[in-house]
Every structure is written in C-alpha cells, then in structure tokens.
Amino acid sequence: MSYQGKKNIPKITSDRLLIKGGRVVNDDQSFYADIYMEDGLIKQIGDNLIVPGGVKTIEANGKMVIPGGIDIHTHFQMPYRGTTTVDDFFLGSKAALAGGTTMIVDHVIPDPGSSLVEAFDRWRDWADEKACCDYTLHVDITHWSDSVKQEVETLIKEKGVNSFQVYMAYKDLYQMTNSELYEIFTFLGERGAIVQVHAENGEIIAEEQARMLEMGITGPEGHVLSRPEELEAEAVFRAVTIASQTNCPLYVTKVMSKSAADIISQARKKGNVVFGEPITASLGTDGTHYWSKNWAKAASFVTSPPLSPDPTTPDYLNTLLSSGDLNVTGSAHCTFSVAQKAIGKDDFTQIPEGVNGVEERMSLIWDKAVVTGKMDENMFVAVTSTNAAKILNLYPRKGRIAVGSDSDLVIWDTDGVRTITAKTHNSAAEYNIFEGMELRGAPLVVICQGKIVLEEGNLHATSGSGRFIPCSPYPDFAYKRVKARKQVTKILRAVPRGMYDGPVSDFLPMSRGGGSSARTSPTKQTPIRNLHHSGFSLAGSPTQRGVVCPRVSIHVVVLPPELIFLV
Amino acid sequence: MSGTGYQGKKCIPHLTSERLLIKGGRVVNDDQSCYADVYVEDGLIKQVGENLIVPGGVKVIEACGRMVIPGGIDVNTCFQKSYLGVSPVDDFYQGTKAALAGGTTMILDHVTPQPGDSLLEAFEKWQEAADRKSCCDYSLHVDIPQWHEGVKEELELLVQEKGINSFQVYMAYKDLFQMTDTELYEAFLFLKDVGAVVMVHAENGDLIAQEQSKILGMGITGPEGHPLSRPEELESEAVFRAITLGNRVNCPVYITKVMSKSAADTVAQARKKGCVVFGEPITASLATDGSHYWSKNWAKAAAYVTSPPLSPDPTTPDHLHTMLACGDLQVVGSAHCAFSTSQKAIGKDNFTLIPEGTNGVEERMGFVWDKAVAMGKMDENQFVAVTSTNAAKIFNLYPRKGRIAVGSDADIVIWEPEKIKTITAKLQFLFQAMDYNIFEGLECRGGPFLVVSQGKVVFEEGKLQVQQGTGRFIHRKPFPDYAYQRIKTRSMMTGRQGVNRGMYDGPVYDVPPTPKYITPAPSAKTSPTTHQPPPIRNLHQSNFSLSGAQADDNVPRRSGHRIVAPPGGRSNITSLG
C-alpha cells in the first residue's frame, strides 16, 4: 500500500515474524489464519503461508489475535504550573504497551496566547525522544484569533494534525463563548478536521465552586459537587446543537456520566454526526471515592468532568459502548503524584486534574463488557482500536489486521486474570484508581512496529522508537455524511417575491454595528421621538452598501390603502 | 371555601348592582364537572348549587345545559411592547376587547423595559396605561433586560410592594437583552430567594446572530430568513440550558412560547426527571405552522414573524396539543403582539428588522377546543386546566381566578362547543386593529356563548359591551405553592456537608506563588471569590532556590522536585485505603 512507502524505518527491517494458529479478530469478522510480518508491515494472511526460512514463529494456539489498541486520549508529560505529570512519554507509552495499546494520541495544550505550532513542535520533540510506540497528536485550541486560524491551517496542511480540542469549561482560561465555538466549528468543518470538545458548562461551574467554598467544603468531594453531571449533559447538548448548525462532525471527549451519554445517543438517533469517548475511569469506577476519608485517595480520582457518584454509571456506559452509541475509548491518562495533587489540599479547585488508565483500558473493557456478554470480540476491537483509527483517518493502516497494515498486533488472553495495584503498575503514580480490581483478559504477546515488546510478562520497550503518524483531514468515517449534507444545504434559497411596495411605518433608526444581526442597540434609545421626523432629510440613497441600514421612511400611514395581500 | 378574605377590599362600586344567576349549566372545573346553578353578586361567586335561594329581581341567564367554565387567563400578551418607537396596533383596549370576545377574562401582559430603563418606572407606565384602557382584569410580568446589582433592589420592591411575582429573562437578542449563563445563574438564584417565577425566552442568541449574518450573506432577506436563522434546535438547546440552570439553583423555570416539538420534548423529559419546569405553547404554535414564511406574499409571510419562530414542521401543532392534553405542557398563552403590515414593513429589506409578534388572544381558547377537545385528545376538565386553572396556580391567583367556586371572582364563560366560525381579519376588525390574521381562513369549532367579567355580562349574542378602564390590576404574592412547594422541600434536603478528614500532612509540591501566565492552572480557578490559598512553602523547601531563574519554566523539569515517598515513610493519611 502506497501510503506506507516512505515510512520504512531502517532499524526494524530485520524483524520477520510469523504468528501461527491464531484467530484473527477484526471489527467485522473473526477467522483462523496465520500472519506473516516483515519490515513492520503485515505481508501475508492466510493458511499455509510460504515464508522465508529462519523466521521467528509465535504459536498462538488458537488465541485471539487483535489489532493493537489505540488510546485516543492521553496527557503524558503534560506541563502544569511549573511541574509535569509523573508519566512522561516513556513511562506512559510503556504502560500503554503493557496493556495491549500500541498507539497513543496525546493532547498538545498550548498556553492561551502562545503559538500552537510551537507548542506542537515542543510536544513532538518530547515524544520523539521518549515514546516507545507510535503516536500522533491532537492540538487544543485554547484561544481564538486570526493568527490561531492560520496556525490551525498550517497544522492541518503541513503538520499532520486533523483533530483539535476546544473547551466549554475553565472559565477565563480556556473557555470559548458560543460565538467563538460557532466560528471554530465552521472553520474546522470547512477544513475537514475533527472538533473535539471538553463539554462542561464553565460559567455555572465557576458559580458552583464559589458556592461550595463558601459553604466550607474544600476537600475533593467539592470537585464533584461543583461539577454535577447535568452541567456535562448541558454542554454536550449545546455542542451538538452548534455542530449540527455548522454541519461539522463532533467528538465529545471524556463522556463521564449517563446523562451526557444519553444526549449523545439521542443526537445520533436524530442523525447528528457525533462521537462519544468514555474513558477507562468512567467505564471502570465511579465517583463515590471522592468522599473517601483518605484525602490522597479521594484526590487521585479528581478529573474533569468528574466521575459520576452514581455507581451504575460504568455499567451503563459499557452498554452504550456495546450498542454503538458511544464509539471509542480513551484513557485520559494524566497522572500526578500525591504531592502534586496536594497543591489543592486546602482548596479542591487547585487539585491538578487527571487519573490513570492507559494500561488498564483494554483489560477493563474486556472484563466489564465482553466477559459480561454485553459486547462481542469484534465490537471490542472496534471500540478499542478500529473506530479510533477511522476517526483519525489512519484506517486501515492502523486498527485492522490486513495485508499492508502496520504490524501492531496483540495476542489476547481471554482468561488471564490480573489484579490491579499501584505496586505493580507501570505508571509512576503512587495511586491507582482501580486499585484491587480483578480484571479478566490481558495481552499475552504485544507486537509493536513488527517487534515483540511484550512476551511472557517481560516488557522490552525502547525509548524513542515511537514514530509520529501524520493524520490527514476529511476522514471518511466522519466526513462522508457531512459532505453530502453540504450539497443538500446549498439549495437554501430566498423566496422570489416582488418588491414590497406598500406603506412602511415610521420608526426610530437603529444604530447597528457592522452588519451583525441581532437587534442590537448598545446605546439606550428613548422611544419618545415618535413624531414625524420632519427635520430629518433623507439624503438620497443610503451610502453604505453591504451594511444593513434601515431606511427611515417619512410617511406615517394610518390606514393602509386597500390591502391586496390577502391570499 | 377558604381564604375569601382576600377579596374584601377590592369591591368595585360600579359593579355592586350586578346580580346574576346562571341557571341550568354544567359547571366545569379542572377537577370535575357537575350540573349546578351559579349565583353572582358584587363581582364574586356567592353560591354554587341547586335550588339556590336568591334575592328577587336578579338577572337570570339560562345556560340550557351548556358548559359553564372559569374565564380564560391569557398568560402572555404584549399590548404595549414598542419596537423601534413603534407601538403595537392592539393596545390594552383593543387587546382586552379581543380577549373578552374569545372567552378570556384575564390577561398577563409583559412589561418590556429597554436596557438601562428603570424597571419600576416601566412597570408604572404599563400599569397606568392598562388602568386607563383595560376592559378586563390584568396583571403584569416584568422583563429584566439586563442583570446588574441595581436591578435587585427594584425586583425586591416589585415583589414585596407591587404585587409582581414573575419576571422574564432572555437567552436571545444578543447585545440587547441576552444574559450570559453566569448572569442567568445569579438572576435565578435571586428570583428564587424572593419566591418569583422565572420566565425564560429560550433561544441561543449567540448562534442566532451568527446564523443571521450567514443567511443575510447568502442574499436571503425575506421573512423566510427568520426561521432559517432560528432553527428549532437553537430553541431546544436554550430550553435544555435553562432547565439545567433552574435545576442547579433549585428554582422553578417557566418556558414562554414553546414553539417546536423538540423544545416541548425537552420540557417533557425534564419533568420526567423531576425538574420543576412549566411550558407555555401559544395560540400560533398550536394552530398553524411555519410553512407560511415561504409565502410569495411578503405581507402574509411577515405576519407570521415571531420569536422563537413557528416551526416549518406541519405536525408541530398536533404534537403540542397532545402534550398539553397529557400534562407535559401546562398553560396556553397567545403572545399577542400585533403589528400592522406597514409596521412589519420596517423589515422589508432585512428580515432581522421585522417587528416580531403574532395575534392570538381572541382565538386562543377556540383553537385549543377545536384541535384538542373536539379531536378527543383532551377532556373538558383539562381544557379548563390549560386555558385557565394552571395559569392561576402558577402565578398565585388560585382560587380567586381559574375556578368556579364560592368566593372566586365572577369571571365566567358559558361555552358553546358546537359554534363554528371561520377566522378572518375582516370579521375581526371590530375587535382587533390588525390588518392580517395569521389564522386567516381557518375554521374553528367552539367558542364563547356568553362572557361574564367581574360579575358583568360583557359578551352576549356576538356583541361586546365593554368599558375602557374597568380592568383591575391584580396583585400576586410570591411563592406560589404550585411551583414552590417542592422547591422548598428540596432546599431543606440539599444541605451538603464536607467530609471530615484529618489534615493532609504529606508532602506538597511547590508551585509558583502566583500562577504564571505561561502555565496557568487548567481548572476553573476563576470565580472571583475563589481564594487562592497561599501555597505553604514549609515543606522540603530548603533547597529550592529558583527564585528568579525561571527562564526554563516551560521546559519540563521533573527530576529534582518529584517526591516519590515522603521522608519518614508514608503517613497514615496518604496510605492506600
């Protein structure tokens, strides 16, 4: 496949692998076949393959062979108030590989006012140096201006970024107004990018936070009390509305609550192009822990939107994931140490936000959804890998076991059981929010870029071996429908009517700024001068073209003459 | 009948002579129907029952088994809402006359001050105009054009002394009336504390502004641009947001002008989740649809312009009637705000300038009967509930208004279910001043046979006998039970408490005392009252000497400062538990 040509990385060319006797599971079907890989690519799939001699052979013994997972949402090495998250790109991507994830998508968060491209380059430097698996980047739009527009354009055209996140929360920092959101959605919709939203109503959160602090609630429970799930649902609803108005595909990051998920599935039923991403945390645990007596434990669950205190949430989200109402899973892995979390020990609004989950993601979904019979193995592949690849426009290079695809594969052990604990996890965090959970289903062998990185419990990750994978705009998965709709809406036309030539009432002129449309009269107008503007002479035709400027008619008509308009 | 005392002071001298007996009618309230006679004196209902003992010389009206219902209450009219200095053609006189002709004996008008105006002055202006002209009892809602500290005082005064218990806020009309979510939150919080009903004009003004300039940019300037730039999703989005705010603040929310199916569905869903929310469809959304915006006749198309717009989906009226019938929507208004064609023509070159408003005060009750009761969707009791009783309850007028009972005001309608009339502007010209009727040509079954307002017969055999200025302003007390009983209970229950924990005594990562612009904290540390806690620098700080040299702050440096385990091992509080 031609898209692969330029990307041959010399250092892995020697790897030749044959997986024998596995059951290949893609998102659409499962079948028994052998897989032969060379140069980091899948070269042959089938029975009785003819392969060169001396190839390393792995006996799968009938176990599932699935495309490596894609974690579509991580925050490795994220700077935060002069510190960074404890898992950098090395530790983070190592943890990913240990869990069967062979590609991660990290968020670039430029500081408001700074350059997006510079931030992107900085993130790339960090990741190129340390990542042990392939990666790509989302860029967050933290402010909006004409120069940002140009940078976004550059990122799409030259840098291989096709997804951008905007924030509806974090008032006075990242938060965008509805008008800005409308402009951004329009802009990105015209350029084939995916709009991701952090959906929470930041204005109400700010009010609620102030109220909580006033009530003397300063611990982590204040976090969830000030961010109730309806604020998440509200923002999702609003984002869906804006996306539908601007005909732009929408991606909701971190679906944390039942009501937010419901809004997404309702919108999908109405035909909106919207994708929802629950994360490991919301699929695996709930927000009751915010009330833990152990401050450090409670604080380790702090993330936004918060985990819902409703203990039935994980089950519900797993169900929606199984039915296809939610599409992809991320981890939003963003780990802080206890000492870092303690920045907010006296004020919950200061607690750095983020939970772990990159390593646990695939096992957790297997355990909660596949083992319980909600989901089949093909859907499992879809939500952990294939759908993400489609949204990122990397399919079928990633997210599928097919000839020509990257050889990112996992041999999945459906019966392997492991207990999650901070003592053995690969993250540097002292806490694991899934502590003590027994999960069924684990990777047995992980192959990344054609190399075995996990075998018999041993992880061989090489810092810096991860490649940046550029994403191109207009992913079919999101944009096919959008393009078709654009064609349809072009038909919008004015009704051809004769000029209205009847009488026009006398009225006060409205001072309107530059063609903007609402009935705006910023200056207060006293409606007293309702007399005949006898002194007011209309100097010919209105001077400004284009600017909508109501003309003042001089004639007050009391009784309209013989109205001919009745139909 | 409890609470008849409230009526004492309000006896109007010129009505005292009226004594009426309505004989042989079927009294229909929202809860039951029964055959009974009704005796009226001094503008009040004095007796209800059979074989009443009444003084001699009483005027007797034979109802002949017809329905006797409480007079309608129109919760939404704009008889004095001027636009760009242009006043609507139906003022309080014309408007209330039309109301009475349609069986409505009380109206609630909107006081619409401009931004910067005093609410109190505007209220007094409206009250003065209504006192002078109104022919039926009335009360007023006050719209809040802007939210600021000064408004609070006026609102308090209006509630405590002026007898106003409902205020409208706007989520649309950007840069004019529109409020931000923060302002809405504060307004809701304040209005809840004073016990008022928050009415919301629910449309997303930011998006409308964008859509309007887009539509104008496409060269669409006619009335069809109005619904194109205000699609119904923007209405349901705002309804959803308003309900979220109301639920957060624990405040009842009243959605004025429910115009679309999706907005109505949003209200119904919220009610199923337990939110205290009321929805008001209007005559226009119940009887016609937005397909007329595409009429080739400009004047006709413009006559339909109102906000939120009528939905172009022709199944909308039916859907809204179904929801009224099942109780998901509660009250019916008319949003009567009539502009003549020449006034509408202010926007002949630009749809955003067309004065907004449709007629409907006269047709309101007839259409609900025709489209809901005559179709078998709704029974006569629910008809009374949605046209009168629920409005009285929400706005704290019950049981003085909205019920036929001893002690209630004698606002009574004898309803004729089979009366058929065809609506046309020509026929209505007597009662309404407007030259275009949006229900033109529609046939409507059901109408008033006789209307009694304040104990006087004002409409009989198709003739109106009204007098300007007889309408009284009706005071309304705050905290209507219908809306606030649940709210009060909930606010007692939601006492939240923090978790009692020992002090966190583990290590704390050092952060720059003032968060630098370069690395702002990515959580909403924004609210003005949020205290930035002074970072306590007492722990593990002795070797920290980065006082000035922070040029590399945007470069990740994680080695020196991370504390993997606190000295002396983990303390209790930080251990896994």
Whether residues A505 and B237 touch (CB distance < 8 A) is answered with no
Interchain contact B467–A (C-beta under 8 A) = no
Give the closest-approach CA distance of B286 to chain A in angstroms.
Answer: 22
Strand partners, A83: A80
Q: Report the amino acid identity of residue B202.
A: A
Measured between CA atoms, the residue of chain B closest to residue A125 is B555
Q: How far apart, in whole angstroms, are the C-alpha atoms of residue B72 and residue B68?
A: 12
Q: Are A256 and A277 in contact (CB under 8 A)?
A: no
Mean pLDDT of B309-319: 95
Whether residues A494 and B220 touch (CB distance < 8 A) is answered with yes
pTM for the structure as a whole: 0.82
Whether residues A81 and B511 touch (CB distance < 8 A) is answered with yes
DSSP class of residue B180 equals -
Q: How high is the mean pLDDT of chain B?
A: 85
Q: Are B224 and B294 in contact (CB under 8 A)?
A: yes
Whether residues A81 and B440 touch (CB distance < 8 A) is answered with no
Q: How far apart, in whole angstroms, are the C-alpha atoms of residue B209 and residue B199?
A: 22
Interchain contact B326–A (C-beta under 8 A) = no
Q: Which residues of B touch A525 (CB under 8 A)?
A: 85, 114
Highest mean pLDDT range out of A345-349, A502-506, B82-86? A345-349
**For residue B84, what pLDDT band results from cuts at 50, 70 and 90?**
confident
Q: How far apart, in whole angstroms, are the C-alpha atoms of residue B30 and residue B401?
A: 12
Instruction: Give the angle subtended at the CA of A373 by the CAs of A424 and A477, to the nearest 5°.
Output: 85
Element (H, E) at B507: none
Whether residues B114 and A524 touch (CB distance < 8 A) is answered with yes
Per-residue pLDDT at A152: 96
Give the closest-approach CA distance of A121 to chain B in angstroms.
Answer: 13
The answer to whether residue B110 scores a pLDDT higher than 50 is yes
Whether residues A494 and B221 touch (CB distance < 8 A) is answered with yes
DSSP class of residue B9 equals G
Interchain contact A28–B (C-beta under 8 A) = no
The answer to whether residue B327 scores a pLDDT higher than 90 is yes
Q: Which residues of B touch A567 (CB under 8 A)?
A: 295, 297, 300, 440
Give the closest-approach CA distance of A86 to chain B in angstroms.
Answer: 8
Q: Are A475 and A403 in contact (CB under 8 A)?
A: no
DSSP alpha helices (H): ranges in A360-499? Answer: 361-365, 377-381, 387-391, 476-489
Tell me how far apart the terminal alpha carbons of chain A are, to the nearest angstrom.
65
Strand partners, B37: B49
Interchain contact B125–A (C-beta under 8 A) = no
For A434-468, the pLDDT digits (tens) are 999 999 999 999 999 999 999 988 999 999 999 99
The two tokens of residue A161 are 């970024």
Mean pLDDT of A487-512: 76
Q: How far apart, in whole angstroms, are the C-alpha atoms of residue B354 and residue B340?
A: 11
Interchain contact B497–A (C-beta under 8 A) = yes
Q: How far apart, in whole angstroms, are the C-alpha atoms of residue B304 and residue B222?
A: 12
Count CB neighbours of B139 within 10 A. Answer: 25
Measured between CA atoms, the residue of chain A closest to residue B553 is A82
Q: What percentage of chain B carries pLDDT values higher than 70?
A: 84
The answer to whether residue A317 scores a pLDDT higher than 90 is yes
3 state SS of A168: coil
Q: How far apart, in whole angstroms, are the C-alpha atoms of residue B76 and residue B278?
A: 14
Q: Which of A194-208, A508-522, B198-212, B453-467 shows the lowest mean pLDDT across its residues?
A: A508-522
Per-residue pLDDT at B461: 87
Count Cα neighbours of B178 within 13 Å in the Cβ-side half-sphere.
23
Whether residues B341 and A203 touch (CB distance < 8 A) is answered with no
Highest mean pLDDT range out of B53-62, B167-176, B427-436, B527-536? B167-176
**For residue B522, what pLDDT band results from cuts at 50, 70 and 90?**
very low
The two tokens of residue B393 are 């309850």
**For residue B510, what pLDDT band results from cuts at 50, 70 and 90?**
confident
Q: Are A29 and A64 in contact (CB under 8 A)?
A: no
Whether residues A339 and B553 touch (CB distance < 8 A) is answered with no
DSSP class of residue B289 equals -
Q: Is the peptide bond before B308 cis (omega within 30 degrees of 0)?
A: yes
Per-residue pLDDT at A543: 37
Interchain contact B116–A (C-beta under 8 A) = yes
Cβ-based neighbours of A253, under 8 Å, separated by 6 or more: A73, A165, A196, A197, A198, A199, A277, A330, A332
Helix, strand, coil percentages in chain B from 3-state DSSP, rounded to 5: 35, 20, 45
The two tokens of residue B169 are 């806020």
Mean pLDDT of B549-573: 44
Mean pLDDT of B100-129: 94
3 state SS of B105: strand
Interchain contact B524–A (C-beta under 8 A) = yes
Per-residue pLDDT at B504: 84
For A329-373, the pLDDT digits (tens) are 999 999 999 999 999 999 999 999 999 999 999 999 999 999 999
Q: Indicate the residue of A82, A291, A338 with minimum beta-carbon distance to B553.
A: A82
Q: Indicate the residue of B83, B247, B533 with minimum beta-carbon distance to A350.
A: B533
Q: Which of B85-89, B235-239, B319-323 shows the lowest mean pLDDT across its residues?
A: B85-89
Mean pLDDT of A20-49: 94
Whether residues B297 and A493 touch (CB distance < 8 A) is answered with no
Q: Indicate the residue of A81, A351, A520 with minimum beta-carbon distance to B515.
A: A81
The answer to whether residue B10 scores a pLDDT higher than 60 is no
Strand partners, B258: B281
Interchain contact A213–B (C-beta under 8 A) = yes
The answer to whether residue B569 scores a pLDDT higher than 80 is no
Whether residues A79 and B517 touch (CB distance < 8 A) is answered with no
Mean pLDDT of B413-433: 75
CB pairs under 8 A between A and B: 372
| ipTM, interface predicted TM-score of the complex | 0.78
Interchain contact B193–A (C-beta under 8 A) = no
**For residue B433, what pLDDT band results from cuts at 50, 70 and 90?**
low
Measured between CA atoms, the residue of chain B closest to residue A206 is B527
Per-residue pLDDT at B166: 96
Mean pLDDT of B16-40: 90
Mean pLDDT of A396-400: 95
Q: Are B234 and A245 in contact (CB under 8 A)?
A: yes
Interchain contact A350–B (C-beta under 8 A) = yes
Q: How far apart, in whole angstroms, are the C-alpha atoms of residue A333 and residue B433?
A: 67
Whether residues A505 and B340 touch (CB distance < 8 A) is answered with yes
CA distances from B386 to A505, B58, B353 (A): 37, 32, 33
The answer to whether residue B570 scores a pLDDT higher than 80 is no
For A3, phi then psi, to 5°, come to -65, -15
Mean pLDDT of B126-133: 95
Q: Which of A322-326, B51-55, B391-395 shows the lowest mean pLDDT across its residues?
A: B51-55
Q: Indicate the residue of A83, A178, A207 with minimum beta-carbon distance to B206.
A: A178
The answer to whether residue B525 scores a pLDDT higher than 90 is no
Q: Indicate the residue of B224, B247, B297 with minimum beta-carbon distance to A567.
A: B297
Mean pLDDT of B21-36: 94
Interchain contact B541–A (C-beta under 8 A) = no
Cα torsion B235, B237, B240, B245: sign: negative
Give the closest-approach CA distance of A398 to chain B in angstroms.
Answer: 31
For A122-164, the pLDDT digits (tens) are 999 999 999 999 999 999 999 999 999 999 999 999 999 999 9
Strand partners, A197: A166, A252
Give the closest-approach CA distance of B236 to chain A in angstroms.
Answer: 9
Q: How high is the mean pLDDT of chain A?
A: 87
The answer to whether residue B551 scores a pLDDT higher than 90 is no
Q: Are B144 and B114 in contact (CB under 8 A)?
A: no
**For residue B432, what pLDDT band results from cuts at 50, 70 and 90?**
low
Per-residue pLDDT at A14: 56
Q: How far apart, in whole angstroms, are the C-alpha atoms of residue A268 and residue A330?
A: 20
Per-residue pLDDT at B502: 79
Mean pLDDT of B522-543: 42
Q: Report the amino acid identity of residue B444.
A: C
Count CB neighbours of A238 within 10 A. Answer: 26
Q: Which residues of A touch B207 (CB under 8 A)?
A: 178-179, 182, 241-242, 245
Per-residue pLDDT at B496: 67
**For residue A522, what pLDDT band results from cuts at 50, 70 and 90?**
very low
3 state SS of A69: strand
Per-residue pLDDT at B427: 58
The answer to whether residue A525 scores a pLDDT higher than 80 is no
The answer to whether residue A58 scores a pLDDT higher than 70 is yes
Cα torsion B158, B160, B166, B168: sign: positive
Instruction: Give the angle subtended at the CA of B567 by the CAs of B563 and B573, to the nearest 5°.
Output: 85
Q: Indicate the residue of A495, A496, A517 with minimum beta-carbon distance to B216.
A: A517
Q: How far apart, in whole angstroms, are the C-alpha atoms of residue B476 and residue B75?
A: 13
Name the residue among B282, B254, B241 with its Cα closest to residue B396: B254
Per-residue pLDDT at B536: 45
Q: How far apart, in whole angstroms, are the C-alpha atoms of residue A141 and residue A51?
A: 48
- CA A173 to chain CA mean position, Å: 19
Interchain contact B275–A (C-beta under 8 A) = no
Per-residue pLDDT at B428: 52
Per-residue pLDDT at B434: 62
Higher pLDDT pick, A559 / B343: B343
Per-residue pLDDT at A521: 38
Element (H, E) at B428: helix B425-428
Whether residues A493 and B519 touch (CB distance < 8 A) is answered with no
Highest mean pLDDT range out of A541-545, B239-243, B342-346? B239-243
Measured between CA atoms, the residue of chain B closest to residue A514 is B213
DSSP alpha helices (H): ranges in B88-140? Answer: 92-101, 119-133
Name the residue among B110, B107, B173, B109 with its Cα closest to residue B146: B173
Q: How far apart, in whole angstroms, are the C-alpha atoms of residue A289 and residue A308?
A: 10
3 state SS of B20: strand
Strands B67-70 and B72-77: unpaired
The answer to whether residue A555 scores a pLDDT higher than 70 is no
Q: Are B317 and B363 in contact (CB under 8 A)?
A: no
Per-residue pLDDT at A94: 96
Cβ-based neighbours of A387, under 8 Å, separated by 6 or more: A27, A275, A327, A328, A399, A477
Relative orientation angle of helices B92-101 and B119-133, to the nearest 10 degrees: 60
For B141-196, the pLDDT digits (tens) are 999 999 999 899 999 999 999 999 999 999 999 999 999 999 999 999 999 999 99
Name the residue among A504, A515, A522, A508 with its Cα closest to residue A544: A515
The two tokens of residue A8 are 């041959």
Per-residue pLDDT at A545: 38
**For residue B82, what pLDDT band results from cuts at 50, 70 and 90?**
confident
Q: Which of A247-256, B202-211, B302-311, B514-523 shows the lowest mean pLDDT across its residues?
A: B514-523
The answer to whether residue B399 scores a pLDDT higher than 70 is yes
Interchain contact B537–A (C-beta under 8 A) = no
Ramachandran sector of residue A499 (left: φ over 0; alpha: ψ -120 to 50; beta: rest) = beta
Q: How far apart, in whole angstroms, are the C-alpha atoms of residue B225 and residue A516?
A: 14
Q: Which residues of B touch A169 (CB under 8 A)?
A: 524
Question: Tokens 């904290």 correspond to what residue?
Answer: B521
Q: Are B147 and B177 in contact (CB under 8 A)?
A: no
Q: Which residues of B touch A343 (CB under 8 A)?
A: 508-509, 511, 535
Q: What percentage of chain A carries pLDDT values higher than 90?
A: 80
Strand partners, A107: A138
Cβ-in-10-Å burial (0-12, 13-18, 19+) of A291 comes to middle
The two tokens of residue B105 are 């004996």
Strands A30-38 and A16-25: antiparallel
The answer to whether residue A559 scores a pLDDT higher than 60 is no
3 state SS of A47: coil
SS (H, E, C) A325-380: CCCCCECCECCCCHHHHHHHCCCHHHCCCCECCCCCHHHHHHHHHHCCCCCCHHHH
For A210-242, the pLDDT digits (tens) are 999 999 999 999 999 999 999 999 999 999 999
Q: What percentage of chain A carries pLDDT values higher than 70?
A: 87
Q: How far apart, in whole angstroms, are the C-alpha atoms of residue A200 and residue B7?
A: 50
What residues 155-174 of chain A have any CB closer than 8 A to a CB of chain B? 169-174
